[in-house]
Each structure stands twice: as structure tokens, then as C-alpha cells.
Structure 1
Amino acid sequence: MTWTALFHPPDTLVVLGLALAIEAAAGYPDRLYRALGHPVTWIGWVIARLDRSLNTGSEARRRAAGIVGLLALLAVVGAVSIGATTLAAAAGHLPALILLGLVCASLPAQRSLHDHVGRVSSALRSEGLAGGRREVAMIVGRNPESLDEAGICRAAIESLSENFSDGIVAPAFWIGTGGLPGGALYKAINTADSMVGHRTPRHESFGWASARLDDLVNLPASRLSAGLIAAAALLHPGASAAGAYRAVRRDAGKHRSPNAGWPEAAMAGALGLRLAGPRMYGSEIVDDSWMGDGRAKAGPHDVERALALYRIACALLFGCVVLGASILKVIFP
């Protein structure tokens, strides 16, 4: 078979379904990480090299260098992922789907996100504030010493909500539409944004292109994520789909990010909480709008409720992929 056949719409969704199932069951094994690293670490190495070699000179030069560096990164990742797809195609149709499913399983992070957020509530229950601050510092950039129990729990739920969008739904969307190259290119853009897309003296200009492109490619996933969280609320006792819808409609556009407000508002409305709002990163206070109009005093139980909604939303995502693949198989036999 030719590699172009693996961009056939039903096949990209089959690959995605396999990837989501494999990652949910096994995550990314530590032994594999120790032996080979991870696609994000490989991409991160390239970005770090580009940052060191290109990010110099005037602000105008840094911005131009950031654009050139991003294009170079995408060219490398695109070439490698298309090459991998071509090699897989040589194995035949079914083996190629399985091989690509295994490779694509490294791109979403359902299991690791669940585990990291779950450790926050567990540490709060067993070790108190010290344990909660230690664990939440692993998943958010804000100053953990400034957080009380409610702040720790809100931070964990916000991280869960935002990363559901850009760590799971977004790579799934781009794998589903573009196969392995689509997912790998998304991951490259997202990693570049996380490494250089900050408004700091060093990266304000150099990371401009990465930050803007990341905002663009996350637009579909942020909206889909809010919808999945609202749908999950229909299936979870004590959660409110109507509350999720109201919060998204009222608050999502007020967030400083064009995308993060959608899943955060949906989660806040579904659980009857207030998320985001003013918070501290290092010594800097970010005065952001509140998402949701519920209580701000969240506790470990609320983190566990959010994780339950998250599990349902991930299951709904998988169900949509299976249904979509089945429908497309009829349309594109």
C-alpha cells in the first residue's frame, strides 16, 4: 500500500482510536522513556538548539529568527513523521495501522495527566499543605508557597481542564485529521510554545510566532473540550451540564488565553466552582477573570470530582472516535 492511503479519513481515526486505547491502558512506560526518551524530549532538544543559536540581536531580528526557527522545526518534524508513516505503510495495511497507533500513543497524555492531578489530592489528604504544594508544583507554574488548600485544589483542577484540551483533545484532533504527521506537528508547535512562547525579555520576540500559532491550532480542541466536559456532566451525578454551558457562554471569552477559558469555564460550571481569577506566578500577580460563579473554596473532594468528569470525557472522546471511524468507513469505503 502507499503511505497516502494512511491519510484516508477512516484510517486516521482508526489510528487515533488505537492510540487513545493504548495510552489509556499503558501510558508511556518508564522503561521506554529511560531507553529512548520521548517525542517531546526530542522536539525539545531541537527547540533548545534553535533558541541558543538563533535568539540573539535586536527585537526585530529575534522575532524574524523565531519565525525561521519555527519553520525549521516544523520541517524537521514533518519530514520525520511522513518518513515514519511511509515506512509503516510498507508493512501492509493492518500492521501499518497498529504500528502507527503505537507511535501515536506517545502524543496524548491521558494517563499521566490523571496520575499527576490525582497525586495532588492524595498528598493533601495524607500530608497536608506541604504535600499538596509539592505535588501541585509539578503541574503548574505558579508559586506553590502562596497557595492554601483551596488554591492548590483550584490550580490542580485548572491544570486538568486546560491540559485535557491541549494535552489530549488537541493531539487527538490533529491525529484524526492528519494522521501521525498531523499529531506530531501539533506537538511540535505546542512544545515550542511551552518552551519559548513566554512574555519574558528573552522570549517575548523569539517566541512570538510559536505562541500565536499555538493559539490558532488549539482553537478547535478548546471548544471540543468544553463540549466533552459538558456532555460528561450529563453522566456524572452531582455535576451540571447546564452550569457548564452557562459558564462557558458567560466566562470563556474573558480569560486572558483565547483557549484555556473554554475547558476551565466548563469544568467550573459543571462542578459549581470558581476557577482561574487572580493568582501568583513567582512574585508576579496575574489578575485574570473568574471562570464560573460557584464557590472558590475547593477541596480534595473537588479534585476527585473533576477527575471523575475527566475520565468520562476521555471515554466520550474515544466513543466519538470509534463512531466517527464507523461512519466514515461507510462514506469512504
Structure 2
Amino acid sequence: MVHLPGTFADTLAVLAVALGIEAAAGYPDALYRAAGHPVTWIGRLIAALERGLNRGSERRRRIAGCVALALLLAVVGALAWAFTALAGLLVGPRIGPLPAVLLLGLICASLPAQRSLHQHVAAVEQALRTGGLEAGRRAVAMIVGRDPERLDAPAVCRAAIESLAENFSDGIVAPAFWIGCLGLPGGALYKAINTADSMIGHRTPRYAAFGWAAARLDDGVNLPAARLAGLLIAGAAALRGADARGALRAMVRDARHHRSPNAGWPEAAMAGALGLRLAGPRVYDGTLVPDAHMGDGRAEATADDIARALALYRTACWLQGGLVLALLALCLTLAG
């Protein structure tokens, strides 16, 4: 008989293992070179579906986009459930679910990106300090979509901090939230939705209709994590002597005015915690995109502010891990 490790305690244990492995080792470069990454596998499937289905009238493209998203989720969900079922074969009456939890935790470690996000944002700080503005522009172009040549030094710093805050939500807290709720299937399905949104959820002539379903679904599945990410940043600010009240105040006042229904929460929290003013109008592909400002502090961000943001980020990641362990301990206590 196959025993699926599917209780809330099981999924929290899987999540704790995954976060620990990813924080310690990230996703090994050798493994990426040899086999790619789940996001690249998902991306190839999305690209194939888009090439085959994205044509015709606007109405047909929107329907095709819904069909493509459903097919994507069916494939990813089936594979994730199959891996969970295979792990369930390791569960026995003498050893319990531990081997399955460890195996699933190892697989789930590929879904959050704590270590790589820190490395990419720290690279912007280091580039600005050692190579000046041009080096900073090249480094920040690796993590943001706006036109780097239009960015002065404070704008490069703000872009790095905004990317750190937003990706803390959808790159770390959101996959962790869905792994904790639903195990590997939850994390994998979230990653599929988020990858689809990043590839086809753009308001461009090619993708506006076809990617409509992916963008709307991504907004929905990120909603709880974005609020939680903002609270974790505020908690980190309290622990590190930053402005926790400012973080909460900026979230309540500014987050709902962001052009994204979710990104404003962690961005506003980070802005308030650091005494900065983030977001606002930005240029993407030569087009000015209007947006509200998050926070009411200074706009002249520096490399030191990136370092302060990274310190808050590290503490927020530790807070998330501590919250997972506390919930796991509570579940085990109640079960015992």
C-alpha cells in the first residue's frame, strides 16, 4: 500500500527540510548544467504550448490561454503527485514517514530561491562599490526588466531593493506557503503558475489575451504570501533595529496603490523599514509605466541601503524558518 505523507505536520516537515537544504546549498551549478532546473523544464512546456496555441482572434487567444494553463497544471500536478506517491512507498510502520519527508524535502528544495536571490542582489551592491555605475547597471539588469541605461546610481539601488522585496514574496514565501499547505504538489503547481505569469502574463499585443488566465491566477495564489512577506519584513525590522512601525505604516497606507495587487506589500514594508521611497514611475522597453510610490522616505538610495535590505532579508528568511518549525512543533504536540 502507498502511504502519502500528506498531513499538515508532514508537509511542514517537508518544507522545513527544503528550506534548510536550499539555504545551505542552493541549487548546485553542476546539477543545473547536467539536468536543468524545474523552472526551465516548466518553461519549455509553456513555450511549446504558446507556440502551438497562441493564434487567432483575441477571444480565441484567451480561450487558448486558459486551455494551455489547464494542460500545464495537469502535467505538473500529475508529476508532482506521482513523485509524492513514490515517496510514500518509503513509509512503513517501523520507520514512519521520515524517509519520504527527507526525499520530498530534497525535491522541494529546488522550488524556493533564498540563496540565489541573495547572491544576485548582493552582486549589485558589490558591482556598485567596485565598478561604479556601469557595473551596477549590468548587475541589476540580471534581476529587473526595466531599461538599465536610464538608471542613475540611486535608481539602480532602488531597483535592486525592490526586486529583493518582491522576489522575497513570490520566490521564497509563496512557494514555501504552498509547500506547507499542500506538499510537493502545492509547491510545484505554484511554481508552474508563477513561471507562466513571468513568461506570458504581460500586457503586450502577443500575450495580453493568451496570458490573461496565467496573470489572474498568479495574482490569486500570491495574495496570502505577499501579505505574509510584508509582515516578515516588518518583523525582521523589529529584530534588527530598523523601523518596524514605518514598515507597517507604509504597508497599510501604500501597498494597495501599487499597480500590482501583491508586490506593493513587501515593497512598501521594505521602504518603510529602511526609510526609503521605492517604486513610482519606471521605464520598461522604452515605455514609461506609471506607479505609486511605496514609502515616503528619501529616494537617494545607496549601496549601503542594499546591504541593509539584504540584512533584513536574511532575518526575514530566518523568521520564516522559525515560524515553520514552531507550527511543526505545535502540530506534533497536538498529535501526540
Task: State whether structure 2 residue 187 is matched by structure 1 residue 183.
Answer: yes
Deviations along 1:154-178, one digit per CA (max 9) or x if unpaired, are 0000000000000000000000000
Question: 1:3·1:85 contact (CA, 8 Å) conserved in 2?
Answer: no
Q: Which residue of 2 aligns with 1:325?
A: 328
Q: Give the Å deviation of 1:331.
A: 2.5
Tell me if 1:170 matches 2:168.
no
In structure 2, the partner of 1:12 is 11
- Please give the alpha-carbon distance, in whole angstroms, between the structure 1 residues aligned to 2:8 and 2:157: 40
2:42 counterpart SS class: helix
- Alpha-carbon shift at residue 95 of structure 1 (Å): 1.1
Q: Per-residue displacement from partner, 1:84-128 (whole Å, max 9, x unpaired)?
A: 001111122211111000000000000000000000010000000
Letter in 1 for 2:254: D
2:138 aligned partner:
134
Q: Which amino acid aligns with 1:101?
A: G
Kindly provide the amino acid, as one letter, of the partner of residue 312 in structure 2. Answer: L
CA RMSD of aligned residues (A): 0.8
Q: 3-state DSSP class of the match of 2:283?
A: strand
What SS does the corresponding residue of 1:218 show, helix, strand or coil?
helix
Q: Tell me the secondary structure at the aligned position of residue 310 of structure 1.
A: helix
5 Å-filtered alignment, 1:210-229, equals 210-229=214-233
In structure 1, the partner of 2:94 is none
The answer to whether the Cα contact below 8 Å between 1:64 and 1:206 also exists between their aligned partners in 2 is yes
1:245-256 alignment to 2 at 5 Å? 245-256=248-259
After superposition, what is the alpha-carbon deviation per residue over 1:37-86, rounded to whole angstroms, capped at 9, x for unaligned?
Answer: 10000000100000000001000000000000000000000000000001
Aligned residue for 2:280?
A: 277
8 Å Cα contact 1:63-1:209 kept in structure 2: yes
Is the contact made by 1:9 and 1:332 (CA closer than 8 Å) also made in structure 2? no
2:100 match: secondary structure: helix
| Deviation at residue 2 of structure 1 after TM alignment | 3.4
Partner letter of residue 91 of structure 1?
L
Q: Do structure 1's residue 290 and structure 2's residue 289 form an aligned pair?
A: no
Report the Cα offset of residue 332 of structure 1: 3.3
Q: C-alpha displacement at 1:278, in angstroms?
A: 1.0
- Separation in 2, partners of 1:297, 1:130: 17
> Which one-letter code corresponds to 2:207 in the other structure?
H
Query: Residue 90 of structure 1 aligns to which amino acid in structure 2?
Result: L
Unmatched 5+ stretches in structure 2: 92-96
Supply the AA of the counterpart residue of 2:44: W
Map 1:192-271 onto structure 2 (within 5 A). Answer: 192-237=196-241, 239-271=242-274
Secondary structure of 1:233's counterpart equals: helix
One-letter code of the match for 1:142? R
* Aligned position for 1:143: 147
Query: Which residue, out of 118, 124, 145, partners 1:114?
Result: 118
Q: Aligned-pair distance for 1:330?
A: 2.2
Deviation per residue, 1:310-332 (Å, 9 max, x gap) = 00000000000000011011223
- 1:99 alignment partner in structure 2: 103
Query: SS of the counterpart of 1:52?
Result: helix
Contact 1:169 1:225 in 2 (8 A): yes
Could you say what secondary structure the match of 2:56 adopts?
coil
- Give TM-score, length-normalised by structure 2: 0.98
State the number of aligned residues: 331
2: CA distance, partners of 1:38 / 1:152: 28
Q: Measure, in 2, the Cα distance between the counterparts of 1:331 and 1:202.
A: 52
Q: 2:48 — aligned with what?
A: 49
Tell me the percent identity. Answer: 66
The 5 Å alignment of 1:32-47 reads 32-47=31-46
Aligned counterparts of 2:115 and 2:279: Cα–Cα separation in 1: 24
